[in-house]
Amino acid sequence: MLNPPPGYAERLDAPGYLPPMPVPTVRASLGARCVAYLLDILFIFGFTLMLWVAIAVIGVITFGLGWTLFAVLPASGILYSAITVGGARQSTIGMRLMGLRVVAPESGRRVDVLTAAVHALLFYVAISTFLLWCVDILFGLVRSDRRLGHDLLLGLAVVRG
């Protein structure tokens, strides 16, 4: 490195310092993201069904008190995305099948669970309103890196690999 940034040597010696991973240059196509989401709809349905059965059993065991957990079911898609994208593989099951993962574009690092949940929430808000969905998709169509509006708001990128 010819001109290292100030404090470069000190950061390398710091305990627990991990140098940033190289940022992947191959961005995900919109078609691959669309197919991944269609696959994820199936997995979200299965995840919701498992939650429904678990809540029903808990409700019987607690004499109906546990049935209040049925209020969580509408958020099952957000929970699914938070658990999978915020996990070690950085992708939902549909994304894995399409060879995609979510990263922070500056560093290539993993996304934490809270950011993954907010990313999914913004996606579902955009897709529930036709105009917002069109604006979200328009960002992906006009940008060379194919990042959608909700990706830009959170500083995330969906990449191949």
User: Does the pLDDT at position 17 exceed 80?
Assistant: no
**pLDDT for the residue 22:** 52
Q: What pLDDT band is residue 144 in, cutting at 50, 70 and 90?
A: confident
> Between 6 and 27, whose confidence is greater?
27
> Between 9 and 145, whose confidence is greater?
145
**pLDDT for the residue 105:** 82
User: Does the pLDDT at position 15 exceed 70?
Assistant: no
Range of weakest confidence among 15-19, 32-36, 79-83: 15-19
| Mean pLDDT computed over 102-129 | 90
CB 100 within 8 A of CB 160: yes
User: Does the pLDDT at position 84 exceed 70?
Assistant: yes
Q: Which two tokens stand for residue 98?
A: 């399409």
User: Does the pLDDT at position 61 exceed 80?
Assistant: yes
Q: Which two tokens stand for residue 52?
A: 């429904």
**pLDDT for the residue 58:** 96
Q: What pLDDT band is residue 97 in, cutting at 50, 70 and 90?
A: very high
Q: What pLDDT band is residue 50 in, cutting at 50, 70 and 90?
A: very high
